[in-house]
Structure 1
Amino acid sequence: MHYLYILYSEKIDKYYIGESPDIVNRLEQHNSHYFEKAFTKAADDWEIIVSEKLNNKGDAVYLEKFIKRMKSKTFIQKIIKDNDILADILSKKP
């Protein structure tokens, strides 16, 4: 079991996309600045707004990279409104 997640910080009005087998622990790590050089150290109010449970790490990493390559806040907001987009992306995975 693995998760793709999207975090949001109201303080900096930014999104963060990641993957983890334990999203509750990962959220705590982001908010406590456990990852010293990570983008998420810019805020301490991250909240999970999307969590997609997947069968394996490969699918989670694939979705994470796909979303990050889009470099689009609008695309992220579309995913937030309709999580089915993620299943559609995975169905077209090579």
Structure 2
Amino acid sequence: MNYTYILKCKDGSLYTGWTNDLEQRVAAHNTGKGAKYTKARRPVELVYFEEFETKEQAMKREYAIKQMARKDKLELVRRKEKADDRSE
């Protein structure tokens, strides 16, 4: 499985990426080995992710999310949280 994800950084900024091991990648970000951007903004929190069959699909979605305005990214996060609340 491949994932596109959004992290919320300590400074409130958002970081979008993709991976094939979500748990390991978030841990790498939090140890300073993930991305240059998140290294100085730790700790980070996983606030959104989507699953894809292929790396190419995940990378395409990562690009699309990175093109979005911050308010639209926050809306993705809000809708996911709302859906998660309903499923509990």
Q: Which TM-score band (shorter chain)?
A: 0.7 to 0.9
| Superposition CA RMSD, Å | 1.4
The answer as to 2:60 corresponding to 1:62 is yes
Residues 21-75 of structure 1 deviation map (CA, whole Å, 9 limit, x = unaligned): 001110111111114x6111122210111121111111110010111122x2101
Displacement over 4 Å in runs of 4+: none
Aligned to 1:4: 4
- Structure 2: which 5+ runs fail to align? 81-88
- Structure 1: which 5+ runs fail to align? 84-94
Secondary structure of 1:79's aligned partner:
helix
Aligned to 1:38: 36
The answer as to 2:70 corresponding to 1:77 is no
TM-score of the superposed pair, with normalisation by structure 1: 0.77
The answer as to 2:52 corresponding to 1:49 is no
How much has 1:8 moved relative to structure 2?
0.5
